[in-house]
Structure 1
């Protein structure tokens, strides 16, 4: 999605001319282009000076492009720092092909800390982790985002609403049945609170300022509903555990405690999470492997995996 296609989408949706465009160095699996517009500073009815245009980005859980709907839902229900949806649509009305769908988002200032996360100054990294834990807690602690069961998110029949779809197979949306076979002191009903969660909450999907304060949470295309503690453990693994060997053990322990403490300031954290977290994390590794195998069986899934691998290499 480059050149004339982007220009036409922006011109039709925002009545603005694209002056220049570039691809972000890291980020979404969707085809993503940052556009600098000819006029406007974001005041009044004028378009902003920069916008982000995306095409595709199907959810790995349901195959639907849900990010515009999730962000509209988030903007209405929370004050979390997420991009506003400026416009969305499709190239062909009624098409079920994810690549036919596009959306234009607000451009948020900040740097992507993912590629240099382990090289940040410790004080900057602590601020980032503190903010990340608080934001995840605010997400999981918002009553308007509570659900009665887990599942993937798909488009409703009207194409403008979200519906919850039952999990299909054993994957990282639902850890329920393995945990029901674990003794009660390790896992109980109070630990399985269904919440809307990001789906890929990690440093590479944040923007931060020079001090490490989070300015935006990006790439909600794989958002889904899962158990709160499971989502917390998965996120903790992405901010702390995967950096074993790159960060000193003592610092990882401090970051883990900080992440949990700031999360617990905004959402319930049941006693004994420290005993359950390793089980959740092992389960996440196993389920993620099984999920990648399932995705790789489909052409769409193989395209997404190739895109992810290419971005990792870059």
Structure 2
């Protein structure tokens, strides 16, 4: 069901104010609101398959089962959810370098805490079932990855990126044993990016937006976070020396298993398929769209070649 933010708030209280719409990558509208005199965040379904319930149950699970700070749930129905507002500062590249490095280390450590503290029996997609969080199990990590890549390849069919997607899918299918040496199953945030990690000074005080959560290998989530901070088309960081800070912070809590270097190259290739899926929606934000498209295809090719070399060592 698609919801109107005003109608949603009216089911909770008569005392509300809609302040502004907030940026969102997911299938939900996100708004800063005032309810009963307090600032809050309201998420409403933009699409019939927005799965508000799943997002609510993931956030509740994290709040109850881990020490990761996440907004408390105030109210929820099938088509909206209302969360407390967390005061904090998102990651910004205009802060002094030393503070950025400490923030990246702490962000990495917080992500590792999530992966260490959440407990699931199998890899798979999360869903809401009978009023609680449930798991659509997909088996091994390589099977889960193949499912994920296949879905993304479906989106790339008929585009200039179709061949790149198929090359990644083939690589995953033919390197299952190596991929299954990864850690997990872990709760993956799935969108651990600068706007979703809030800081007070250098300390992480809030982790937001669980729309893309699933159960898989934590090291994949770490690589996805690296992409968001360093390799996304509008990533805030260009200082490659800071890349190590994110991983070092992660490993201060949870060491990465043997073979990660090779698997990381596979993940980098997989994750490059994601922005390809939405290329037409953001290509006008870059100076040379055609060159950008070519560079993404080359990136996938290079990542798979690097992975193949590393796995054969």
Tell me if TM exceeds 0.5: yes
1:89-144 residue CA offsets vs partner (Å, 9 max, x unmatched)? 13xxxxxxxxxx1111111001333xxx33222122112211210111001111x4
* Equivalent residues in 2 for 1:68-87, closer than 5 Å: 68-87=56-75
Which residue is 1:164 aligned to?
136
Output the aligned Cα RMSD.
3.4
Which residue is 2:305 aligned to?
none
| Alignment gaps of 5+ in structure 1 | 40-48, 91-100, 294-304
**Do residues 235 (structure 1) and 225 (structure 2) align?**
yes
**Do residues 217 (structure 1) and 207 (structure 2) align?**
yes
1:38 to partner: Cα distance: 4.1
Aligned pair partner of 1:106 in 84, 89, 96: 84
1:244 to partner: Cα distance: 9.9
Output the CA distance in 2 between the equivalents of 1:279 and 1:161. 30
Which residue is 2:100 aligned to?
125
Distance 1:202 1:57, change over 3 A: farther
Is the CA contact (8 Å cut-off) linking 1:201 and 1:238 kept in structure 2? Answer: yes
Distance 1:240 1:77, change over 3 A: same
Which residue is 1:139 aligned to?
114
Q: Match of 2:244, SS?
A: helix
Output the CA distance in 1 between the equivalents of 2:109 and 2:233. 20
Distance 1:112 1:247, change over 3 A: closer
Is the CA contact (8 Å cut-off) linking 2:89 and 2:198 kept in structure 1? Answer: yes
Distance 1:32 1:163, change over 3 A: same
**Size of the alignment, in residue pairs?**
258
Structure having the higher helix fraction is 2
Moved over 6 A (4+): 243-246
Distance 1:221 1:132, change over 3 A: same
| Alignment gaps of 5+ in structure 2 | 139-146, 153-167, 287-313
1:159-209 residue CA offsets vs partner (Å, 9 max, x unmatched)? 33323254476147xx8973463497xx35331522111111110222223
TM-score using structure 1 length: 0.69
Which residue is 1:299 aligned to?
none
